[in-house]
Chain A
Amino acid sequence: MSEPRARILVVDDEPQIRKFLRLGLEGHGHAVIEAATAEAALRRAVAEQPELVVLDLGLPDREGFEVLSALREWSRAPVLVLSVRNRESEKVRAFDLGADDYIVKPFGMGELLARIKAALRRRLEGAAAEPVFRVGGLEVDLARRMVRLDDAEVRLSPKQYRLLQVLVSHAGKVVTHRQLLKEVWGAAHADDIQYLRVFIRKLRGRLEADPARPRYLLTELGVGYRLRTPDQLAGG
């Protein structure tokens, strides 16, 4: 598979961070646009239409979240959020505002490149949604509403299937508790995380060989769940 190359907008107020991001990303064939403030970020995003945005949450003029929500009003470009603060409430907020991924500083270039690659690939694949999702021995046929595990059909309740369907439609991405609850049970249940945990336990009982060490349906602690793509499964 060829490495996807992209025009990337890097938003961070620290010059030394922008510098190593530019060197690292350009060294791997990406084109880099830089912005040090929220205002500059939005201006350059409109002017240059980046294919991916790397966004720091701590900006001098406005919160990074504001850039994210402003961007989401007109752009579908993947947004990768950076923050020094390993705070889960921030992660949740970023995902709920439409971020695609989240990396905590300090991070390695290798990890960032892998996340960028995955985000770009998801965007490409998302454009041509396959009717059948496959990862490892798991196969979800969205057209025929059929789930197979290691070639044996798996029976799911309608709610369990709906939950899986939502995860499949965001495969590879973290789906927050709120998003899952809203899409499966409706906005009134958006805070029943407890309820969701019980459902995930049941779903894992059906889909995972060892539910205690799930291979497909992963927990993002305090944030939500992620259904792995074949790429991610291979990457470990």
Chain B
Amino acid sequence: MRLMPYLVSAAAVAVLALVAHVITRFLPLPHVSVLFLAAVVTSAALWGFWPSVFAAALSVAAGAFFFYSPIFSFMVTSERDVADLAVFVAVAALTSRLAASVRSKALEAQRQRERVAGLLAFSERLAASTTDSDLHAAILEHLEPVLGRPLQLLHPGEAAPAGWRVVPLATERGTAGVLAAPQPGPAADPEYEKALLGQAALAIERARLHREVAEARVKVQGEALREALINSMSHDLQTPLAAILGSATALESFGEHADPRTARELVETIRDETERLASYIENVLDLTRIRAGQIAPRLELVELSDIINAALRRRQKVLREHRVRLELPPELPMLRLDLFLMEHALANVLDNAGKYAPAGSQVSLAASVEGGHVVLEVTDGGSGICAADLERVFDPFYRGPGPEGRPASGTGLGLAICRAFVEANGGSVAALSAGPGRGTTVRMRLPLPAP
């Protein structure tokens, strides 16, 4: 029992007795007891029922002793004074009850607020947890102070340390985990604890479901990719192989009597188809490398023009019949990039320009500094892209219609690889087009190195 409320109540009664004494010396006050109600009400409001009863009893005693004749005796003789004190006791009792109940309601409301705030903070902390270990730490961090004892969080079925008590964290779908504590602590606020445990259980379950969904999605994507790859491979591998084998055996069948022109055409077919096969395999290997997470850029300060010239050299065959224009500002700053990833990304863009733009048209490369970036644009006068497909062109296996309306040759992997490589260098890439038949611009934004 705390003493303070009683001591203060007693002091208040004493002070009021003094005040009453002073007042009654100057003017006769018939109902001194009313003054003491102040102490009773205050005591009830601040500390509840029992301290106010104590204050009322003290007030009755003080009134009887100091103010009701005979003075300085606890005796009360006048009937009027007895009635006065009786009324006082009745009023004090009623006031105490009322004030105490108001106080306990206020306290309850406060506790409720704290619980809600605690639950809110807990659920926010849980929602912010991204990993399982983070989630577990958050649960223990919040529950230990509330439950007032050390805890362990176990998986369902996992054995708790010997002698520890376990509390299952149950949801509608089963047990998400088990809390273990060394001894049963006093349940200070069972409702609140239950709410916290419920939150923890839901959070653990949500994390598990989330993980399962993500795993399922990866699996589906993996399967879709594999299927697309097999479909694409069966065509893109078999067609050139058939052409090569066919041409070679045709050449063989002529023996020494081959017409030189026919022979040359067959040989050209073999060469072209082999090149196509090689570039196809290169793309598939790149994509596999990206998927396997093996792309780790080696960043160094490099000349963008070196990268552009290397990519142009690699694509000189497919761009042989195009007019290539290069516009680089003379003092273009060096960039922090991986030479080979960027050269590869750009070569893939140039390959598309060569394939989708008609012979004789212009392919231009222009670089400029814009804010903290260097923007490199490759613009062709080719078949263009309709607005709906501007993003799709970066999807693996997407192939746009070629100059004659048929899908262009290739794997449909070039721009997907380009985007992965540019992003690995901290840049971004987007396709722009005024529409079908009106050319395409591929816009790469590359970060300028910090000064």
Complex CA gap A211/B330 in Å reads 8
Judge whether A222 and B340 touch: CB under 8 Å: yes
Say whether A221 contacts B310, CB under 8 Å: yes
Whether the pair B306, A108 counts as a contact (CB closer than 8 A) is: no
Query: Shortest beta-carbon distance, B125 to chain A, in Å?
Result: 47
- Are A221 and B307 touching (Cβ within 8 A)? yes
B301 touches A211 (CB 8 A): no
**For B302, what are the chain A residues with a Cβ–Cβ distance below 8 Å?**
197
Stretch at the interface among A115-123, A144-152, A163-171, A212-220: A212-220
- CB of A106 within 8 A of CB of B274, answer yes
User: Which chain A residues in 95-114 approach chain B with CB under 8 Å?
Assistant: 106, 108
**Could you count the A-B residue pairs with CB atoms below 8 Å apart for me: how many are there?**
38
Q: Is A88 an interface residue (CB 8 A)?
A: yes
Contact with A along B302-315 (1 / 0, CB 8 A): 11011111100000
Residues of A within 8 A of B340 (CB): 88, 221-222
- C-alpha gap A88/B339 in the complex (Å): 10
Contacting residues, chain B, for A218 (C-beta < 8 A): 309
Question: Count the A residues whose beta carbon is within 8 Å of the partner chain — how many?
Answer: 15
A219-B301 contact given A108-B271, A213-B326, CB 8 Å threshold: no
Q: In chain A, what residue has the closest Cβ to B281? A: A106
Question: Complex formed: what's the CA distance from A222 to B303 in Å?
Answer: 11
CB pair A194 B278 closer than 8 Å: no
- B294 → A minimal CB distance (Å): 13
In the assembled complex, how far is the CB of residue A110 from the closest CB belonging to chain B, in whole angstroms? Answer: 10
Number of contacting residues on B, CB 8 A? Answer: 21
Question: What residues of chain A lie closer than 8 Å to B380, measured between beta carbons?
Answer: none
Q: Is A77 among interface residues, defined by CB-CB distance under 8 A? A: no
Are A197 and B310 touching (Cβ within 8 A)? no
Classify the secondary structure of B's interface with A: helix
Output the nearest chain B residue to A193 by Cβ-Cβ distance: B300
| Of A106, A197, A212, A218, most B-chain CB atoms within 10 Å | A212
B301 pairs with A213, CB closer than 8 A: no
Provide the residues of chain B in CB contact with A193, threshold 8 Å.
300
A201 within 8 A of B: yes
Give the residues in chain A near B326, CB-CB below 8 Å.
Answer: 212-213
Select A201's contact among B303, B307, B328, B339, beta carbons within 8 Å: B303
Q: How far is the CA of A222 from the CA of B310 in the complex (A)?
A: 11
B343 at the interface (CB under 8 A from A): yes
Q: Contacts A194-B300, A212-B305 known; A221 to B343 CB distance under 8 Å?
A: yes
C-alpha gap A87/B278 in the complex (Å)? 16
A201 and B328 alpha carbons, distance in the complex (Å): 14
Given A88-B339, A194-B301, 18 more pairs with CB closer than 8 A:
A88-B340, A106-B275, A108-B271, A197-B302, A197-B303, A197-B334, A201-B303, A211-B330, A212-B308, A212-B326, A212-B328, A212-B330, A213-B309, A213-B326, A214-B309, A219-B310, A221-B343, A222-B340
A-B contacts, 30 of them at CB < 8 A, read: A88-B339, A88-B340, A106-B275, A108-B271, A193-B300, A194-B300, A194-B301, A197-B301, A197-B302, A197-B303, A197-B334, A211-B305, A211-B330, A212-B326, A212-B328, A213-B305, A213-B309, A214-B309, A218-B309, A219-B303, A219-B306, A219-B310, A221-B306, A221-B307, A221-B310, A221-B339, A221-B340, A221-B343, A222-B339, A222-B340
